[in-house]
Amino acid sequence: MEPYVLSNAVAVGLLAGLLWALVSARRSRVWRDAGRELLRRRPIALTVFLAYVAIGLLDSLTWVSASSGGTPQGDSVSLHKPRSTIDRLFPDESYREKSYSAPLADREFLGGAPLRHPGRHLLGTDILGRDVVYQTLKGARVALLVGGFTTLIAIPLALLFGVAAGYFGGRIDDAVFFLISTLASMPSLLLLIALIMALGRGPAQVCLALGITGWVSFARVVRGETLKLRELDYVHAARALGASDLRIVLRHIVPNLMHLVVIAFVLTFSGLVLSEAVLSWLGIGIDGSWGRMIDQARDELSREPIIWWNLVSASVALFGLILAVNLLGDAVRDILDPRTLRERA
């Protein structure tokens, strides 16, 4: 199977999962109210975040087709490659320059030769003449991948270990607590770096490493909450009625942890994306991320005359996403749980 089919399947799966979660959440009054409240409190942040998600989705679904135009000297390589909607919106033959050009310029930045596509680059082009708007848009997918995909690794892990430890207690609790305290006592950035050096470099490895380091603190919270839930009357009642442990966990414990999951998801998200920027700075980030763009562009700030558009575009895009998520995170926490997670602020 071609790799792009797999990545499409993952994207579709994620989308379907998200939709299913939304639909099933709508059935519960608590969640419906929470959603309304969020929309009321943070309409702008929510819109901005959804816009990022939309761009990321547009860029996640790729397919191969030879349809797109194609001049006689057409770029036969990209015709045979899976391309997303975003790729198709910015075909090389109508957006590629030789090197730097300033935003909306009609001449090359170095040397001043006329551009091939004057005035078309809203945010200019980079050293290889690639459009900056295009690259910035492409970064959205990577950021969502880092934030979203990684939380999808971390949260099930945290749920599994946290619930098992909290519900069963005893030896299992000891073992899980040992694992958690071991991982938590290692400096997180160093552990991340060590993991990436051991796993190798690449987007999947970075996400995996972030996931492995990211689940620990959340597992602690889940464990604590499960300890409390376990002693509630209806759980005792279910047990007395002879319900199996699995059934109790799935029907009575996990659903009551969902608000924590949502909060953890939003709170971890921005941290992960920022971590990736730091990793890029250290040379072990993911290709095409905003962190990588910033890393590439930091030298350009010292150019004279200054080349600012690469750095500014990537930073603003990164900043916008993180700010939106942080604002949403605050609101979600306030709405769903004003107390439990306060210490983790």
Give contact residues for another protein (rule: CB under 8 A).
73, 75-78, 80-81, 98-99, 110-111, 127-128, 178-179, 181-187, 189-191, 193-195, 197-201, 270, 274, 277-278, 280-284, 287, 291-292, 294-296, 298-305, 311, 315, 318-319, 322-323, 326-327, 330, 342-343, 345
Spatial distance between the Cα atoms of 133 and 270, rounded to a whole number of angstroms:
22
Closer to another protein by Cβ: residue 246 or 345 = 345
Residue 308, judged by CB atoms within 10 A of its CB (0-12, 13-18, 19+), counts as middle
Spatial distance between the Cα atoms of 343 and 329, rounded to a whole number of angstroms:
15
Encoded amino acid at 79, one letter: L
- Minimum Å gap between C-beta 225 and another protein is 19
* 8 Å CB contact between 124 and 103: yes
- Minimum Å gap between C-beta 291 and another protein is 7
Closer to another protein by Cβ: residue 123 or 322 = 322
- Minimum Å gap between C-beta 295 and another protein is 5
- Minimum Å gap between C-beta 110 and another protein is 7
Closer to another protein by Cβ: residue 199 or 227 = 199
Closer to another protein by Cβ: residue 175 or 232 = 175
**114 three-state secondary structure:** strand
Closer to another protein by Cβ: residue 16 or 186 = 186
Rounded to 5, what percent of the chain is helix, strand, coil? 75, 5, 25
Spatial distance between the Cα atoms of 224 and 209, rounded to a whole number of angstroms:
25
- Minimum Å gap between C-beta 236 and another protein is 27
H-type alpha helices, 90-149: 92-95, 132-144
- Minimum Å gap between C-beta 68 and another protein is 15
**In 10 A of CB 29, how many CB atoms?**
8
* 8 Å CB contact between 163 and 256: no
Closer to another protein by Cβ: residue 45 or 164 = 45
- Minimum Å gap between C-beta 237 and another protein is 32
Closer to another protein by Cβ: residue 27 or 73 = 73
DSSP symbols for 184-238: HHS-HHHHHHHHHHHH-SSHHHHHHHHHHHHHHHHHHHHHHHHHHHHTSHHHHHH
Q: Which residue's structure tokens are 């889940």?
A: 222
Closer to another protein by Cβ: residue 145 or 267 = 267
- Minimum Å gap between C-beta 315 and another protein is 6
